[in-house]
Structure 1
Amino acid sequence: MSKEISHKSYLQKDPWENLRSLSKARIALGNSGGSLPTKELLSFQEDHAFTKDAIYSELKEKELLEQLKEFDLPVYQFQTKVSNRKEYLQRPDLGKKLSNNRNTKKSENFDILFILTDGLAAEAINEGAIPLLREIIPKLKNDRKIGLCLVKYGRVAIGDEIATSLNAIFTAVLIGERPGLSSPKSMGVYTTYDPKPGITDERRNCISNIHENGLSIDRASKLLQYFIKESFRRKLSGVKLKSGNSGIIEK
């Protein structure tokens, strides 16, 4: 008689599992035979669904406009040449250009414009933009003339056209970043001194990964305050103005 052989499946932990306490990245997932554990596979599929949803999330314009009133500053609303979300994803160039119906006043002049736009994760702006403005604006309001802008279907460079329309010296574009599997609501801030259409990205500074598991609102506010202060002092932004991990430094 043949002897019956039983095959027992079991989970095998990864020896580097302790690293998971340091990062939300998919590391040390363990294995079940030659495959991922079912729990980790389902977690991946869930996060992938959240990421796809983030790309198609919409800017809550009415709510944001209402919240922006609390700062008692001029507020402007703009529209890019993009007509819908699908076109926004397929035509990045149109998200960098304003439509013809510009809501601007040629007599305006601003030191700083904070520009909120959806980017690739509108929920990041819906949830994170106002808390960041609450941190940074009180530190600047007495020294700088500030304006606030809301733009649907915008890319980073849309700030250059808006700055030209409103005669602004400096822009900080708050935008939803490309979502990752562990960060579907990540916000970035791109700062530019002397913005104008046609400049390239080496003229900008970026503060990225602002979300609950990444850079905190408090830390992002301090970095933003640094870039604003040094940009006005040195009359520049971009690769000539940097910050380091060991503290805020210049180059």
Structure 2
Amino acid sequence: MTSSPTAPPALSDLRRLTPARVALGRAGVSLTTDALLDFTLAHARARDAVHAAFDAAAVAAELGALGLTPLQVSSRAQSRRDYLARPDLGRQLDPASRAMLEAHPSTADLALVIGDGLSPVAVAAQAGEVVRRLLPRLAASGIGVGPAAVVTGARVALGDEIGALLGARIVLVLIGERPGLSAPASLGAYVTLGPRPGRTDADRNCVSNIHAAGISPDEAAFKIAWLVRESMARGASGVALKDESGEGGSTPAELPGPG
């Protein structure tokens, strides 16, 4: 008996594999109404994520409950409008915040920075859980965490100034990523060894796409802990450090849990 050939995958099968907008169909020369409405909704959610208010006090309270010392600071971007129009202002602390951090020197290995970035909703949804799962992993490696800066109007590079002021060997920045049409609440994590003003993106390692349909908080914590540990051990971060956290060794489930 001859078996029938395997049927080619249907478009519905392809759509189940990716959130990308593929094979949307058309009505005449335009998109179908359903596809257009779906796109419009996704675009509105992305815009709302960028302009959402950042509840720095709530983030600070969450960090305090985890045993950290939170410090609420701000960049030189005095408004969301300034933040979006002048990225350079988001890379510098305002004078009052700089003075606050200078008054809190630390001998800890790692400075933790949590900033609103381009998606405050991502920080509210993901950052606390990532930190909760990360702290036991850092403790298991003997890595101390100093005061945690909660920053309004933050860009990634602001972590370099903060880490230098706190005297940290390494800085971890958790920040809201630029919203996409399928992920308006995605968090990014940036690890930089030897933080100081003037560092570039080539000096950083990044774990991105931390959100409900992407990398989970536990997997993110596993990767971040590996990057921090290996960066300090090898004396390198960024392009000089390849993420080999998935190549053998322990899996996330085998490392200490959040307790």
Same fold (TM over 0.5): yes
Q: SS of 2:42's equivalent?
A: helix
Q: Which residue of 1 aligns with 2:158?
A: 158
8 Å contact kept, 1:205–1:238: yes
| More divergent stretch after superposition (156-165 vs 57-66) | 57-66
After TM superposition, the structure 1 = structure 2 runs for residues 57-68 of structure 1, keeping only pairs within 5 Å, are 57-68=52-63
- CA gap of 1:244–1:35, structure 2 versus 1, over 3 A, is farther
Question: What is the rounded CA distance, in whole Å, between the counterparts of 2:122 and 2:203 in structure 1?
Answer: 24
After TM superposition, the structure 1 = structure 2 runs for residues 23-172 of structure 1, keeping only pairs within 5 Å, are 23-101=18-96, 102=98, 103-104=100-101, 105=103, 107-141=105-139, 143-147=142-146, 148-172=148-172
- CA gap of 1:244–1:17, structure 2 versus 1, over 3 A, is farther
8 Å contact kept, 2:112–2:173: yes
RMSD: 1.9
CA-CA distance at 1:91 after TM superposition: 0.3
Question: What is the rounded CA distance, in whole Å, between the counterparts of 1:144 and 1:28 in structure 2?
Answer: 49
Which blocks of at least 5 consecutive residues in structure 1 are unaligned? 1-13
Q: Which residue of 2 aligns with 1:10?
A: none
Larger Rg: 1
Q: SS of 1:31's equivalent?
A: coil
Aligned positions, number:
236
8 Å contact kept, 2:56–2:72: no
After TM superposition, the structure 1 = structure 2 runs for residues 170-249 of structure 1, keeping only pairs within 5 Å, are 170-243=170-243, 247=247
Structure with greater strand share of residues: 1
Question: What is the rounded CA distance, in whole Å, between the counterparts of 1:234 and 1:15 in structure 2?
Answer: 49
Q: Which amino acid aligns with 1:95?
A: G
Question: What is the rounded CA distance, in whole Å, between the counterparts of 2:202 and 2:181 in structure 1?
Answer: 28
| More divergent stretch after superposition (181-190 vs 136-145) | 136-145
The alignment's TM-score, normalised by the length of structure 2, stands at: 0.86
8 Å contact kept, 1:15–1:28: no
Q: SS of 1:130's equivalent?
A: helix
Structure with greater helix share of residues: 2
Question: What is the rounded CA distance, in whole Å, between the counterparts of 1:139 and 1:231 in structure 2?
Answer: 15
Q: Which amino acid aligns with 2:174?
A: L
